[in-house]
Amino acid sequence: MKKQHQASTPRRPTRRHSLSARGQWVRFGSRTAPAALGMLLVPACLLLFTATLGAETLQEAVQTMITTNPDVLSAGYNRLARDQQLRQARSGYFPVLDLIAGVGRDHVEEPFADDLSPRELRLSLRQNVFTGMATRGEVERQEARVRSQAFLVRSAAENTALRTAKVYLEVLRNQALLELARENLTIHQRIADQISLRSRSGIDRKADMDQVRSRLNLAHANVVVAEQNLVDAETSYTAVVGHRPADLARPDIDNGQMPPSLEEARRLAVENHPTLKSAHADLDARKAQDKVARSPFMPVIDIEVDQIHEDETNYTYQERDNLRAMLRLRYNLFHGWKDQARKLETMHLVNEAREIRNHTLRQVEESIRLSWMAYRALSGRLPFLRLRMQFATVTAQAYGKQWNIGKRTLLDVLDSEAERIDANREYVNAEYDEIYARCRVLNGIGRFVPALGLAWPRESRVEGGKRQRPP
């Protein structure tokens, strides 16, 4: 029986050794064969090198999303439309030139009976001099609306990038968890083989075999769940990015882009968050609209120049050529209280925009505070979870050796392996949560896309916009 047990042991490590999620080889007991390690290490390194060459990075996925995502594109088209609205508003600074021509019949009965054929040709030039600041106010309003939409394009790009990072990291997380589940299954299959052999040899009891079979079936079930979770993560990735994930590379978010403190993070968020900047611009637009609403209470002054050619348009002469220049003033005296109502309306709209800005400010501050605290908590957890994982690995190896010489029970070995897998799983979850928390902080200060080394869409550029200050 002893010879049979010894003859069977060299075969198992070569079949059951696997690479852990932390890139370390897990040894089961003291019987790891160096030759088996070399045989497994070489193809694994080659596979890793090949996968890295064709891996899709987070930057590539985000760039694809920025250039193809409907939310970003629709916001960009809206920005282009507002550019044209701004051009329309600026047209008020330029003269209006009209050509008017007319021809017809005129049947006259008094003071004499006659039929005339009137013809008229008029070239008219109108240049506004003063509109009660309506043109200037409308230009300022449209400029503010352009800035607002440009910041919304930037916000759409930032949020799309964060959503891409989330599904990207979920795929990597579930790939790592599936690897751990399969490693756990491999461990239980190895232990089940050993228990089966020892039971046939009369060393272990049937109860031990039942115990390991129970754990083995649970390990099988965990693999099924992990595979389904990975499929769900890949489906979400496809829905967001637009194609199935290939070989994803682990992202490297530069810590140098992170603010050093919560106060600095809040300051950067208030200064740079695109949604808050858009709310500031909307408030500017409403204030400019209020200027336009005040213009009807002031006169309108125009310069009018007309070159007129008329034929048979009256009864005293046949033709008339006339050049007329006028400085014309128009002043409304009564309009049914419409202008007063419009002025009160814009005042309320300004107050509404101010409260929307204040609400957005609160949301931005709350978001950056929550993101920062999550980042700090996860960063603080990682060293302890790493130590737990290392100690759990050492303990599992030691228990495996002691079980082989009869100093540990099967339950000790199974529990130590379960603790090691759980420690690895907890570390994987915390590691990817910490990376995503960094992404959230960078998104909260409006700098996630630049932190990835990418550029915002061209429609997000703001030219000539005045600096926005927090309230």
Task: Please give the pLDDT value at position 170.
Answer: 96
Q: The domain at 2-45+55-94+133-297+337-460 falls in which architecture?
A: Up-down Bundle (1.20)
- Integer CA distances (angstroms), 336 to 66, 90, 300, 311, in order: 51, 29, 19, 41
pLDDT of residue 464: 57
pLDDT recorded at residue 412:
79
Supply the pLDDT for residue 95.
Answer: 94
CB-CB contact of 357 with 280 (8 Å): yes
Pick out the chain residues at pLDDT < 70: 1-54, 111-112, 198-206, 315-318, 464-471
Residues 290, 208: contact at Cβ < 8 Å? Answer: no
Token readout for 164 is 């891409």
Angle separating helix axes 262-272 and 274-294, nearest 10 degrees: 40
- Residue by residue, DSSP assigns 257-270 as GS-SSHHHHHHHHH
Element (H, E) at 230: helix 206-241
129-151, pLDDT tens digit by residue? 999 889 999 999 999 999 999 99
pLDDT of res. 75 = 95
Residues 6+ apart with CB under 8 A from 93: 135, 139
**What pLDDT does 201 receive?**
59
Q: Global pTM?
A: 0.78
- The CB density around residue 34, as the number of other CB atoms within 10 Å, is 7
Sheet holding 300-311, edge to edge: 96-103, 119-130, 300-311, 319-330
- Token pair belonging to 89: 């508003």
Domain ranges of the chain: 2-45+55-94+133-297+337-460
Question: What is residue 60's DSSP assignment?
Answer: H
